[in-house]
Amino acid sequence: MKKKLFIVFIIALILVSGSVWMYLSTLDVFRDSQTGLVWQDNEDAKNKRLEWKESKKYCQNLSLALKEDWRVPTVKELQTIVDLKKINPAIRDGFKNVIPGKYWASEYAKGTNLGYLVYFQHGDTGKHPKTAKLSIRCVRGEGNF
């Protein structure tokens, strides 16, 4: 009887600790139910500033919420989290680490040293020299938009 009770206790402990771990590991991401994308939402999304090329390496090397397939989002993907009814920052509700900053997108203007960005002060898009240090918010998944 003691052996069965011990086994049940161990199984329950594994199940509970797995659930707690999954909960804790998702605290630093925003899951977008509208697009299916998962967004980085840790302190780095608010504080880290990188050049365009560095931002690609950063996302490729990011390990967050038990996932390692992060990438720099496209302009179109970044625009899905813009809320034009808001300013400073113009970002949808649900994100906790936000600033009204300029965030790198994965695209660049061919034949120039300019990378595309989304400016979350008002939700505008634009271009900036790729050597500038701008914010980065990595994403994972394939959007359904």
With 0-12 / 13-18 / 19 or more C-beta atoms within 10 angstroms meaning exposed / middle / buried, residue 52 is buried
**Is 21 within the bounds of a domain?**
no
Tally the domains of the chain. 1
| pTM for the full predicted model | 0.81
Instruction: Return the CATH number at 49.
Output: 3.10.100.10
**Is 18 within the bounds of a domain?**
no
pLDDT over 90 percentage in the chain: 79
Beta bridge partners of 124: 119
Q: What angle do CA 45, 50, 55 make, to 5 degrees?
A: 75
The per-residue pLDDT for 27 is 74
Lowest model confidence (mean pLDDT) among 27-31, 47-51, 56-60: 27-31
The per-residue pLDDT for 68 is 96
**Is 85 within the bounds of a domain?**
yes
**Is 2 within the bounds of a domain?**
no
**Is 1 within the bounds of a domain?**
no
Lowest model confidence (mean pLDDT) among 73-82, 96-105, 136-145: 136-145
Q: Quick check: 136 pLDDT over 90?
A: yes
Q: Quick check: 49 pLDDT over 70?
A: yes
CA gap 63, 42 in Å, rounded:
12
**Is 114 within the bounds of a domain?**
yes
Per-residue pLDDT tens over the stretch 3-41:
555 555 555 544 444 444 344 445 799 999 999 999 999
83-89 mean pLDDT = 96
- Tell me the residue range of the domain where 35 lies: 28-140
**Is 34 within the bounds of a domain?**
yes
CB 141 within 8 A of CB 105: no
CA gap 130, 117 in Å, rounded:
10
CA gap 31, 41 in Å, rounded:
10
DSSP code for 100: S
The per-residue pLDDT for 142 is 86
Distances (CA, A) of 140 to 4, 24, 49, 71: 43, 18, 20, 6
Measure CA 145 to chain center: 17
**Is 124 within the bounds of a domain?**
yes
Q: Quick check: 143 pLDDT over 50?
A: yes
Q: What is the mean pLDDT of the chain?
A: 88
CB 71 within 8 A of CB 136: no
